[in-house]
Chain A
Amino acid sequence: MSLYKIQAKDVCLFYHQEQALFNVNLNIEANQVTALIGPSGCGKSTFLRSLNRLNELIEGTTTTGEVLIDGVNIYDNDTDVVKLRKEVGMVFQKPSAFPMSIYDNVAYGPRIHGITKKNTLDEIVERSLRQANLWEEAKDRLTSSGLRMSGGQQQRLVIARVLSVNPKVILMDEPASALDPISTAKLEDLISELKKEYTIVIVTHNMQQAARVSDSTAFFLSGHLIEYQPTERLFVNPGDKRTEDYITGRFG
């Protein structure tokens, strides 16, 4: 067993002929928040999607290299992708509740994975909503549509939905970019609580956010991983000129 929860080894990714990731090597520790930063189009989302094989859903992508989770390469031929995606949950940029009740939103994952017992589902729904700091707001309206919630609530609902299938890793792709400052603060608090139990990788274009929530930060540029450091060190004393230029706002 390795020390790291996730190890990316020489990950390259192509959209048709176009290469979007160049030999990315990155080790991510368990129960930490790792932030991915870099200018738009540098490959942050693409790299994030390579950690639960979501790039496969985009036509014409090829991935090479390895991604080990708990020491096992998820790109092995015998990988169970369904199980992988349960273990590595994903929160997308746009808060997106399904057009069904709050309860059904959270119960969706467990149900597709075969849980039908009402009691079990009730427990999972309550536990997940509590973990996502949404239980107090949602408990009296579990049967109302998830779409009626505010953006910030929907994003926490999405997180509850991800938590309902017992993931180990949670990937978040600019989860706060569509939220107001108060909802963003709530989300950041939630992230700090969740890292006690989960390993979190978060893409953000907001450097203050990276500084506030993450333990380590990786800086990407044009598909290359430029620098990967404990967050404080990266922001205070960047090792690479390009990192420094980016975080001081000289380009990007």
Chain B
Amino acid sequence: MKAYGNLKEKFIYMFIWLGAAFVAFTLLTIIAYVFVKGIGTISWEFITAIPSRMGKEGGISSAIVGTIYLTVVALLISTPLGIGSAVYLTEYQKRNSRFSRAVEMSAEALSGIPSIIFGLFGFIFFVIFLGLGWSILSGGLTLAIMILPTIMRTTQEALRAVPEEFRSNSLALGASKWQTISKIVLPSSAPGIVTGVILSIGRSVGETAAILLTAGSALGMPLLPTDPARSMSVHLYYLAAEGISMERAYGTALLLIVMILIINYLANLSLRRFTYRLKS
């Protein structure tokens, strides 16, 4: 019986190990492939020059700037909104009140919607109806709506992880509710909130479909928020889909992957700090 149990255990262990190995292998293969194919294209010029001849020549600087610009606009809008609504729902509304449930359910639903639908909405609402045209602003607003649920939900989780005793101890010292939130609750949940924000950055940076229809595909350097722009992922899409230059598509992909890896690394770092802080 014991031997049989051991065998079973070993088998399950092997199965899990194979699964993990497969995932790691696939991931590494993709990264290695993109790296090998893309590294030859990377040069100082590729990073700093504006694309010419639809991207066949020159660099991708305007797409890099466009990506960062769009992400920053999206964050400037969705971070305060997301954190604010999470604080309101978690700290000021009764738990499970009808209102918070409604908001949470719509956030849940919103985060399951394919991004092309956000793009379509952004196109109809921001680009056409509000007349913002293809622009950083339209794209950033669309991205903001897309990542808002993530920021709100992760902030809510982080706030809920703050022990109830912190609040009661602070209030019993005569602190007001807002003092308690701003001096105790938010600082202790900050790393968790930051993690959510960084994950959202990752999503914005990699997003294609939502931007395709809202920010346009201009090759020039975007300066004003009303300028049209293309992000790296959109640029990559055109380079590959229209057969402009596969090498350059890989070069762009490589830079995009590096950017996202750095962002994920930062997310992990802050998550570790967060759990450490609550444990120790």
Chain A interface residues (CB < 8 Å from chain B): 52, 54, 57, 59, 81-86, 89-90, 92, 94, 96, 98-100, 108-109, 112-113, 145, 147-148, 158, 161-162, 165
Which one, A85, A99, A100, contacts B173 given CB within 8 A?
A: A85
Q: Judge whether B169 and A98 touch: CB under 8 Å.
A: yes
| Interface size, B (range) | 20 to 34
**Do A92 and B165 touch across chains, with their CB atoms under 8 A apart?**
yes
Is the C-beta of B10 less than 8 angstroms from some C-beta in chain A? Answer: no
A100 vs B186: C-alpha distance when bound (angstroms)? 13
> How many Å lie between the Cα of A242 and that of B44 in the bound state?
87
Instruction: Check A165 against B173 for contact (C-beta < 8 Å).
Output: yes
Residue from the list B94, B169, B174 in contact with A86, Cβ < 8 A: B174
Chain B residues with Cβ below 8 Å from A145 are 280
Known contacts A112-B179, A148-B280, A89 near B173 by CB under 8 Å: yes
Main SS class of interface, B: helix
Question: What does the 1/0 interface line of B160-189 toward A look like (CB < 8 Å)?
Answer: 000101101111111110010001100110
Instruction: Looking at the assembled complex, report how far the CB atom of B76 sits from the nearest CB atom of chain A, in whole angstroms.
Output: 28
B residues neighboring A (CB under 8 Å): 94, 163, 165-166, 168-176, 179, 183-184, 187-188, 277-278, 280
Known: A59-B94, A108-B183. A90 touches B166 (CB 8 A): no
> Which 7 pairs show the lowest CB-CB distances between chains A and B?
A96-B165, A85-B174, A90-B172, A82-B174, A109-B173, A86-B174, A112-B175
Q: Can you list 9 residue pairs at the A/B interface with Cβ under 8 Å? A: A57-B168, A85-B173, A85-B174, A86-B173, A89-B172, A89-B173, A96-B165, A112-B173, A147-B280
CB-based nearest B residue for A59:
B94
Q: Which listed residue, B169, B176, B183, B187, touches A96 by the CB 8 Å rule?
A: B169
Q: How far is the CA of A7 from the CA of B4 in the complex (A)?
A: 71
Among the interface residues B94, B168, B172, which one has the most CB atoms of the partner chain A within 10 A? B172
Contacts beyond the supplied A84-B174, A90-B169, A161-B169: 9 A-B pairs with Cβ under 8 Å = A54-B172, A85-B172, A108-B173, A109-B173, A112-B176, A112-B183, A147-B280, A148-B280, A165-B173
